[in-house]
Each structure stands twice: as C-alpha cells, then as structure tokens.
Amino acid sequence: MRIYFTRHGETEWNKLGIIQGQLDSALTSEGIEMGKRLREKSKDLHFDKIYSSDLGRAYDTARLICPDREIIKTPLLREIDVGSWSGKNIKDVKVDDEVLYKKYFEDPKNYERPDGESIHDLRKRVEKFFEEAIYPNEDENILLVTHGVTIVAIYSLIEGIPIEDFWSNRVRRNGEFNIADYEDGSFKIIKKAPKNPVDSI
C-alpha cells in the first residue's frame, strides 16, 4: 500500500500566524491553487480510498484534489485541539502562555492541558485511524488530507519515534505530498514534504 498524505492548502489564518487547532478558516486563493496543483500531480494515480479530516480546510482541499470522488471524512484526522490557543496569534501565545508553550515544544511527553489534547491524545487518535483504515486493508493507493501537527504524529507512529522526541519531525508545508509505503507490517518513507519555514501549532 502506498499512502499519500498532505497538509491542507494555505488558509487565511495560516497567512496571519493565527493558531487554528480545531477551529477553522477559509483557504486562501493560494491555498486553492495548492489543491489544484496536487490534483495535477496525482492525475495519473488512482486512489482506492480518500480520507480527510472533517475540518473544512482539509475537506475543501480534498475536494480540490479529487473533485469527482467520494471522500471519507473522519474526526480522527483532525488537527490537535489546543484549547484556548485556538484563534490567537502564535506570537501572542508565545509571550502570554510562555510556560505551556515551551512545554509543548520542549517537553511534549509532559504537555497537558485541561481544555484540549495532549500529544499522547493526538498520537492515540492517529493510531486508532491506522488500526481502522490502514492495517486491515489491502488498497494500493490511499490519500489522507489532514493537518500540520497531525502529520508530525503520523511520522512519529510510522517511524517509531517516542513522544519525547515528537518534534524531531517539524510541521510540513501546506499542499505538498508526503509518501510512505506500508507492506508486511512495516513502513518505508518515500518522500517527506519540505518543512514549514516557521513554527506551527
């Protein structure tokens, strides 16, 4: 099985440095073009199944890539829930919630918050998706349209990276394919999208 997974196209809040989490903002004109470019790049591929986060920015990107196909929406591929950080500028959070912000990036194993998810919670959610949609199936090609930190969690799962080293993979750029093969119970990374040039949550 070959897994193509991508972060949604650029959004209005991405441009402004606003943390989205499980809130949403619309794709920009460039974000729409990113989806169309991925459609062109994958025009000779047949995806046996297409899965998308049920958040609008991911689902809208999936529809741009595969406009005539059934898209399976799932909350298991949502972005991490960062509670009160959602809707705030990342620069403000870095100053106003400095201790928790540092823990998020520097001590992910012990990052907890009462109003959202821990890194452990996100990883468990991604594992559940793989147990339901990847491991039992024999599809040749599948597409996942998801989010920046969720893709970091996917890499932590398929590369066997412990939670304390979660950020050894950084958030990848919007609208670029990551590719991995899954065969006989093991994964092989074929391509990693370029890293996002700035910190993302």
pLDDT (tens digit per residue) in 21-51: 999 999 999 999 999 999 999 999 999 999 9
**Domain presence at residue 201:** no
**pLDDT of residue 201 exceeding 90:** no
Show the domain range for 181: 2-191
List phi, psi (to 5°) of 4. Answer: -100, 125
Residue 1 burial (CB count, 10 A):
16
**Domain presence at residue 200:** no
13 labelled ligand-binding: yes
**Domain presence at residue 105:** yes
Give the span between the Cα atoms of 109 and 123, in whole angstroms: 11
46 labelled ligand-binding: no
Judged by DSSP in three states, 197 sits in coil
- Two tokens at 84? 């009160």
- Two tokens at 188? 């092989």
Question: Which are the catalytic amino acids?
Answer: 8, 79
**Domain presence at residue 197:** no
Residue 29 burial (CB count, 10 A):
9
**pLDDT of residue 198 exceeding 90:** no
Which are the contacts of 93, defined by CB distance < 8 A and separation ≥ 6? Answer: 19, 85, 101, 201
pLDDT band at 197 (very low <50, low <70, confident <90, very high): confident
Model pLDDT for residues 78-132, shown as the tens digit of each residue: 999 999 999 999 999 999 999 999 999 999 999 999 999 999 999 999 999 999 9
Asked whether 174 and 34 are in contact (CB, 8 A), the reply is yes
**Domain presence at residue 199:** no
78 labelled ligand-binding: no
As for how many domains the chain has, the answer is 1
pTM of this structure: 0.96
The distance in angstroms from the start CA to the end CA of the chain is 29
Which pLDDT does position 78 carry in this prediction? 98
**Domain presence at residue 37:** yes
Asked whether 143 and 50 are in contact (CB, 8 A), the reply is yes
8 labelled ligand-binding: yes
**pLDDT of residue 199 exceeding 80:** no
**Domain presence at residue 128:** yes
Look up the CATH number of the domain holding residue 42.
3.40.50.1240
